[in-house]
Structure 1
Amino acid sequence: MTEHILAAERFEADRAHLRAVAYRMLGSLSEAEDAVQEAWLRASRADVGDVGNVTGWLTTVVGRICLNMLRSRRTRREETLHVQVTDPALRPRDGGDPEEEALLADSVGVALLVVLDTLAPAERLAFVLHDMFAVPFDAIGPLIERTPATTRQLASRARRRVKGAAPAATPDLTRQRAVVDAFLAATRGGDFDALVSLLHPDVVLTADRFVVPTPEPVVVSGSHTVAKGAMAATGRALFTGPALLDGGVGLAMAPQGRLRLVLAFTVTEDGITEIDVIADRERLDGIEVAVLDA
């Protein structure tokens, strides 16, 4: 019987792949590590003698674990959605490395993680396993108790959410993307002069009362004042990435894959003229977030 037990070395060969699957399912590095560890505990007790594709089998094991975690998350609807963006909850759980989490979010795409977080658990599983890891629908269906055809429909629906509605027909969408990317790079790098160069001299930034927080919205103006404020937000910038926000290019901040804040920009030939910083959950829920084309 022991010859049919999965060896630890064989599991370790797939650990990086399994972590990648779990991270895209859960959006949190610490939760992904928990899911992979649970997968090992289950796999180490299973008889794999009849398993032809061990990697595929382990992928479905992790998928099922993540599905249960997502369902549990939705039933309690995450208290973290209601904390302020300045809270320590921005940091990964269990003392995780925020830089590692930020790098991983960048590699996957913050906007993608945000959209995935809006999907129902079954939709997320179908999309992630099929579209991102090429698991066939007939292998995914049993995990969510759906037929392959219904599973295909779930993945298709999720795919439409990821892509979003067609962006507004504007010739400067590419320029918007370049300016927003440059803004994020300058903020992360602490390059004050580069930030000022992107801003119109009379730029106006409005932050709703949930951003700071304050009793009333905060309004500041002037390129130097706005740039100084951005310099104070370099920590937030680690978990921020470009996204389509209602068809325009903006930035979404999503520590652990959950949307906390967006920056909507007005970009003209003279630079960034307006920045709207939104953390109000009701307003965030009304914004269509989609993934920008590469």
Structure 2
Amino acid sequence: MALTAGDVERFEAARPRLEAIAYRLLGSAGEAEDAVQETFLRWHAAEVDRIEVPEAWLTKVLTNLCLNQLGSARARRETYVGRWLPEPLLGGDPMLGPADTVEQRESVSYAVLTLMERLAPRERAVYVLRAAFDYPHREIAEILDLTEATSQQIFHRAKKHIAEGKTRIEVDGAAARRIVEEFLTAATSGQTAPLVRLLTADAVAVGDGGGKVPARAKAFEGAVAVAKFLWGLFKPTEAKRALLGGAPEVYAWTANGDPAVVVVVDGRVVGVICLEVTGEGIAAFLSQVNPDKLGRATALWATTDHGDPLLTAF
């Protein structure tokens, strides 16, 4: 059945919300876009005039497509080279979705997206729909073919798993820049002591190179080990510049609502380091350097007024 212009407009109006849901469920912008496009194909094939509540219908189709995708994604990640981390979204990306409440901002933070990998697919779906999009449990139950009581139980269990992570501190753009500036000053000081003072005692550093860029599969653990790693990472060498394909520019930005270091070479984002900030200091450095997960960041960067870099080479 051919869609009318109004049917297409209705779907396009829902697209930003659908993409934001899919990204939180899948942790990948590319996979989220694919899931939303498949949802559009299902919409195109449906008898749209018989769908009483289009938003609910679209959300159900999308969510179940994502649940199927999560099942196969788990199998793929078992053979993934190195450590798997989500695809970061730079500040200003519409796929980040709603950010009006603490729960909405928390649900898209890089740390929580990483923690959500531990959840079963259905737990993840309930958590995302409830915490990030404020769906009532009655509607979540209808979307996932659950009882309302089961939806509530799953949500409380998922929240408990997420709460096992450290308590993040929310920061605005100006505070994020100050944190990144302070970190870079310490990282390029030539000493590890200034870095250690910024970190929590049990700080960790994790990187995702996807087998395409060198990244250690095992996390660096403890303030001293992390500080030594970061000091070496930001120490200028010709080998690093050769690996990156040129002299990098380093910027302070945000990614997924967290302070972030963005590394750019000739307009191409080659690395995003998200800083997880707690009341005790910086608790984690989550680095995405897999080029397959930086294409969207590069496209957004090209349209952004990002000012001058804090560093021009390392």
CA 1:33–1:231: 2 relative to 1, 3 Å: farther
Q: Establish whether residue 253 from structure 1 lines up as the match of residue 303 from structure 2.
A: no
Q: Secondary structure at the match of 2:125?
A: helix
CA 1:187–1:253: 2 relative to 1, 3 Å: farther
CA 1:60–1:19: 2 relative to 1, 3 Å: same
Matched with 2:121 is: 121
Matched with 2:193 is: 200
Q: Secondary structure at the match of 2:131?
A: helix
Matched with 1:229 is: 233
Give how far 1:248 is off. Answer: 7.5
Contact 1:5 / 1:48 at 8 angstroms: preserved in 2? no
Whole-angstrom CA distance in 2 between matches of 1:61 and 1:196: 52
CA 1:99–1:157: 2 relative to 1, 3 Å: closer
What does the per-residue CA deviation read over 1:228-273, in whole Å, with 9 as the maximum and x for residues that have no partner? 63367864861423166xx9751241649xxxxxxxxxxxxxxxxx
Q: Establish whether residue 238 from structure 1 lines up as the match of residue 272 from structure 2.
A: yes
Give how far 1:21 is off. Answer: 0.6
Whole-angstrom CA distance in 1 between matches of 2:277 and 2:143: 31
CA 1:123–1:183: 2 relative to 1, 3 Å: same
Q: Secondary structure at the match of 1:240?
A: strand
Contact 1:220 / 1:226 at 8 angstroms: preserved in 2? no
What does the per-residue CA deviation read over 1:113-165, in whole Å, with 9 as the maximum and x for residues that have no partner? 11111110010011111221122323323444432211111111111122227
Whole-angstrom CA distance in 1 between matches of 2:13 and 2:159: 30
Which ranges in structure 1 are unaligned for 5 or more consecutive residues?
A: 93-97, 168-172, 175-179, 257-294
CA 1:61–1:45: 2 relative to 1, 3 Å: same
Whole-angstrom CA distance in 2 between matches of 1:2 and 1:213: 51
1:253 aligned partner, one-letter code: L
CA 1:4–1:251: 2 relative to 1, 3 Å: same
Calculate the TM-score normalised by the size of structure 1: 0.59
Two-structure CA RMSD over aligned residues (Å): 4.9
Matched with 1:36 is: 36
- Greater helix percent: which structure? 1
Whole-angstrom CA distance in 2 between matches of 1:226 and 1:73: 31
Whole-angstrom CA distance in 2 between matches of 1:129 and 1:207: 30
Whole-angstrom CA distance in 2 between matches of 1:105 and 1:231: 33
Contact 2:3 / 2:44 at 8 angstroms: preserved in 1? no
> What aligned pairs does 1:174-189 form with structure 2 within 5 A after superposition?
185-186=180-181
CA 1:58–1:46: 2 relative to 1, 3 Å: same
Matched with 2:21 is: 21
Whole-angstrom CA distance in 1 between matches of 2:112 and 2:144: 22
Matched with 1:161 is: 161
CA 1:183–1:255: 2 relative to 1, 3 Å: same
> What aligned pairs does 1:76-95 form with structure 2 within 5 A after superposition?
76-80=76-80, 83-84=81-82
Whole-angstrom CA distance in 2 between matches of 1:127 and 1:91: 17
What does the per-residue CA deviation read over 1:6-28, in whole Å, with 9 as the maximum and x for residues that have no partner? 72221111111110010011110
Matched with 2:51 is: 51
2:233 aligned partner, one-letter code: G
Whole-angstrom CA distance in 2 between matches of 1:131 and 1:250: 24
Contact 1:110 / 1:254 at 8 angstroms: preserved in 2? no
Contact 2:271 / 2:288 at 8 angstroms: preserved in 1? no
CA 1:91–1:242: 2 relative to 1, 3 Å: closer
Q: Secondary structure at the match of 1:196?
A: coil
Whole-angstrom CA distance in 2 between matches of 1:193 and 1:201: 5
Contact 2:190 / 2:231 at 8 angstroms: preserved in 1? no
Whole-angstrom CA distance in 1 between matches of 2:166 and 2:12: 42
Matched with 2:253 is: none
Which ranges in structure 2 are unaligned for 5 or more consecutive residues?
A: 98-104, 170-174, 208-213, 237-260, 264-269, 290-314
Identity %: 30
